[in-house]
Amino acid sequence: MMAALYQPFIEIWTRGRPELSRHLLTPILMVIFFYIYQSRQTLLTFKAAANLWRSDRWKPLVAGAFNLTVNITLVVILPDEYKLDGVILSTVLSFCLIQIPWEAHVVFKEFFGRREASTYWQAQLSAAAKATALCASAWLVVRMIPASGATGLLVKGAVAAVFVAAALYALFRQEVYDLASRITRRRGK
């Protein structure tokens, strides 16, 4: 829904002034940032629960140094209209190249095992592929709606919500059914 609604919202927020509106790259990077940030939370929860702080004590410094270096480099070399994109991209790269691999290594080395790591990465790749398809589909559906302004944003939001909910149900109905069956069996015991 974020992918589908960022541009219509920015158009309203900037009152249609094209010099303040961002190109499509900025919302795409913001959606990628949000997805990657949220996908880390499972690992971080297990890391906190297993008290694995000491094992990755250098990660924040390494990731911060990398992020700052790439951030400054991109801001210096990119044209003005892409500087914000450079800042977002440097953070995404820091997550993907430093933080997530480091956190996964610590959690699967110290708490789980190699087999669980393989299962985790397969699930992450599958979820990312589904999320990408869902974002693109929602964006295409919302782009077909000609309405604009606040009313248009509400209509587009409602359509995006219904479309995304239906697509999520179609993609994950078996997992939801399996979870509901397990819960029902436990309650029956």
- Max Cα distance, the chain (Å): 64
On whether the CB atoms of residues 94 and 66 are closer than 8 A, the answer is: yes
Residue 27: pLDDT over 70: yes
Q: Return the pLDDT at 147.
A: 84
What is the DSSP secondary-structure string of 82-121?
A: GHHHHHHHHHHHHIIIIIHHHHHHHHHHHTS-HHHHHHHH
13 pLDDT exceeds 70?
A: yes
Euclidean distance between CA atoms 189 and 186, whole angstroms: 5
pLDDT higher than threshold 90 for residue 67: yes
Residue 165 lies in domain: 2-188
Average pLDDT on 62-73 reads: 96
Long-range contacts of 78-86 (CB under 8 A, 24+ apart): 81/22, 81/23, 82/25, 84/22, 84/26, 85/25, 85/26, 85/29
Specify the pLDDT at position 166: 92
pLDDT in tens, 126-162: 989 989 999 999 999 998 998 888 898 899 999 999 9
Choice between 21 and 31, residue whose per-residue pLDDT is larger: 31
Amino acid letter at 138?
A
Specify whether the CB–CB gap between 41 and 47 falls below 8 A: no
pLDDT of 92-131, one tens digit each?
Answer: 999 999 999 999 988 888 888 888 888 888 989 998 998 9
Task: Specify the number of domains making up the chain.
Answer: 1
* Helical ranges in 14-99 per DSSP H: 25-39, 41-49, 59-77, 83-94
Q: If DSSP codes are grouped into helix, strand and coil, which group holds residue 24?
A: coil
Higher pLDDT, 184 or 43: 43
pLDDT score, position 20: 58
pLDDT of residue 114: 80
pLDDT higher than threshold 60 for residue 189: no
Percent residues over pLDDT 70 in the chain: 94
What's the pLDDT band for 188 if we cut at 50, 70, 90? low
Give CA 136 to chain center in angstroms: 14
Question: If residue 22 lies in a helix (H) or strand (E), which one and from where to where?
Answer: none
Dihedral angle computed from the Cα positions of residues 29, 35, 38 and 42, in that order, rounded to the nearest 10 degrees = -130
| Predicted local confidence at residue 133, as pLDDT | 92
Of 110, 2, 98, nearest to 46 (Cα)? 110
Averaged pLDDT score across all residues of the chain: 87
pLDDT exceeds 80 at position 175: no
Residue 146 DSSP symbol: -
- Between CA 110 and CA 116 the distance in angstroms is 12
